[in-house]
Amino acid sequence: MESDPPFQESYKTLLRDFMEEKHTERMHEMFFGADKNELPLIDLSRLCLGEYEQEECKREIIDAAKRWGFFQVVNHGISRGIFARMKCEQAKLFQQPFDEKANGKVLNLPTDCYRWGTPTATSLTQLAWSEAFHIPLTHVSRLKEFNSTLSSTIEEFAEVVSELAQRIAEILADNLGCKSTLFSKNVLTGSCYLRMNRYPPCPISSKVFGLVPHTDSDFLTILYQDQVGGLQLVKDGKWIRVKPNPEALIINIGDLFQAWSNGTYKSIEHRVVTNQEFERFSIAYFFCPSNDTVIQSGLQPSIYRKFSFKEYRKQVEEDVKSTVRRKSPDMADSDGGGGGCCRCCFSFILTSGLTALFMWLSLRASNPVCSIQDFYVPALDKTGNFTTNTSIYVDLKLDNENKDKGVYYDVLNLTLYYSRNQSQPIAIGNKSFDSFYQGHKKNTRRKTLVDTYGVPWDAASTAVSNGSAVFRVDLATAVRFKIIAWKTKKHKLVVRAEVPIDGNGKKDKKKGIRLKSSAPELGCYRAPAGLLIVISIFILGFI
């Protein structure tokens, strides 16, 4: 019987629609445009040496958690034999017939522990070309009836990896001055999860993710992977490829640690790309607290409200469901219910709405600051023989000044205009830049030559001399903000600025010129929160 999930058959409609839209070139860039980079590599054996070596090792861990959110560790104390046994048992497990895996016949576990694809995908970029067993460690003992070898191997693996996670978490907590017992009291083996992943060879690897971009909703994740590769993460607004290291484990910060550290440590978006020839295996250990654990930063003022892990998981699930309902209205729940059910649902919706409102008010974001750092028109430069060069050099800077809020930019559309004597501006050139992600407190530069058309250069030269020439830069895009694991809706960003030019065709100001909009910036609006609260409480009192 076939062991691979039926990806092509189940998602043939998405694949057909995608091919008809002819996005191949753009998708190829999306999947393979990532830069190569080496994650910080930390030798943990120094934690057993003298005080200087210990402190230096801890400093490297803390620095990597702050700047990268990801790092590799070697000499971690876990034997190769454990990893070899885990990989062997993992491979045998995934070789079982697909129907048996999907129907829960392989292990004595709930059927939702086996996952494959993305049932809710409405586009090819939402599809995960992978299969996985997501196992709560409280359920491992139930595996003994079906596979005692697998059960004992997982228990052995979880024990040593849990010790490593506790050790790393304590180092990071100590750096914050938080001598908290949060981890030892609330993050127990039974509250953690193990996920065994398999990424089958994908014949359309340039079009489908193995795992879609996401962040982890835990404190820490410890990853063991084979040498096939495919893991990518965001660094300085760009996707980078992580080169596998056979001696190393990968550790990354989760959303809970970012919130608990008040944004000191970073939960970074990451993804897995597929491979056309080779299957890929990995094992992820999720360092999670019990459901009723309250996440509250000990650092003040706190930029995140306190919440329980149960609340957070529920919020993530609701976000996923609401996205599916918006995109696939025909998938609404068909179960009936009496007045009591409707009443509870209505109360829940209102309560959720109020919660969302309060979070919006406390986590409002400001639009990026866009500015022109340099602007040069060679055709107007009288100091050299550049009059035949009709391109215009533009240096655009985008600043995300938000604290702990990343920005997703759609395609940037840059348009240049020219006018003289207050006449109607005419478009003389345009340029587009690909969409990208920008971390908080980061800036991004886009430097380019814009080919121009329809410019009366002789008249423009005269107009520059007498001060009647006006060059204008317009920028149009759409942005959405990332707050921990939440993403806002898209908001249009349309800004512009006039750029004064001197007699040599150069920007006539040393400082950057900020692009501004006549519309109010996002985040300036203040909802009448008190009125909404009173109305909501009034309604809740009658249901």
pLDDT at 337: 40
Phi, psi angles (nearest 5°) of residue 204:
-120, 50
Cβ neighbours around 156 below 10 Å, total: 16
The torsion angle over the Cα atoms of residues 95, 101, 104 and 107, rounded to 10 degrees, is 20
Q: CATH number for the 369-514 domain, one of 3.40.640.10, 3.40.50.300, 1.10.150.20, 2.60.40.10?
A: 2.60.40.10
Which tokens in the block code for residue 314?
A: 């529920």
Answer yes or no: are the C-beta atoms of 504 and 380 closer than 8 Å: yes
pLDDT at 144: 79
Among 500, 499, 498, 462, smallest CA distance to 382 is for 462
Q: Which run of H or of E encompasses 412?
A: strand 412-420
pLDDT at 35: 67
pTM of the shown model: 0.60
pLDDT at 60: 97
pLDDT at 417: 92
pLDDT at 385: 60
In the chain, how many H helices and how many E strands? 13, 26
Mean pLDDT of 421-441: 87
pLDDT at 229: 92
Phi, psi angles (nearest 5°) of residue 182:
-55, -45
**What CATH topology corresponds to 7-308?**
Jelly Rolls (2.60.120)
| More confident of the two residues 296 and 83 | 83
pLDDT at 542: 41
Spatial distance between the Cα atoms of 364 and 483, rounded to a whole number of angstroms? 10
pLDDT at 38: 81
Spatial distance between the Cα atoms of 48 and 315, rounded to a whole number of angstroms? 41
Handedness of CA 453, 454, 458, 462 (dihedral sign): negative
Catalytic residue among 167, 280, 420, 472: 280
Spatial distance between the Cα atoms of 220 and 139, rounded to a whole number of angstroms? 21
How would DSSP label each residue in 59-121? HHHHHHHHHTSEEEEES-S--HHHHHHHHHHHHHHHTS-HHHHHTT-SSSS-GGGEEES-TT-
Q: Does pLDDT of 19 surpass 70?
A: no
Answer yes or no: are the C-beta atoms of 543 and 343 closer than 8 Å: yes
Q: Is 325 a known active-site residue?
A: no
> Any bridge partners for residue 284, and if so which?
195, 223
What is the C-alpha R_g of the chain?
27
* Mean pLDDT of the residues in the chain: 82
pLDDT at 146: 78
Q: Does pLDDT of 309 surpass 70?
A: yes
pLDDT at 355: 54
Domain boundaries, the chain: 7-308, 333-364+528-540, 369-514
Q: Does pLDDT of 164 surpass 70?
A: yes
Sheet order of strands, 231-235 included? 35-37, 238-242, 231-235, 270-273, 209-214
DSSP-derived secondary structure letter, 438: E
pLDDT class of 504 with cuts at 50, 70, 90: confident
Most confident by average pLDDT, 147-156, 243-252, 345-354, 463-472? 243-252
Phi, psi angles (nearest 5°) of residue 142:
-70, -15
Mean pLDDT of 450-459: 87
How would DSSP label each residue in 350-361? HHHHHHHHHHHH
> Any bridge partners for residue 131, and if so which?
116, 198
Q: Is 542 exposed, middle or buried (0-12, 13-18, 19+ CB in 10 A)?
A: exposed
Q: Does pLDDT of 105 surpass 80?
A: yes
pLDDT class of 330 with cuts at 50, 70, 90: very low
DSSP-derived secondary structure letter, 227: S
pLDDT at 215: 93
pLDDT at 538: 43
Spatial distance between the Cα atoms of 129 and 102, rounded to a whole number of angstroms? 15
Mean pLDDT of 189-205: 90
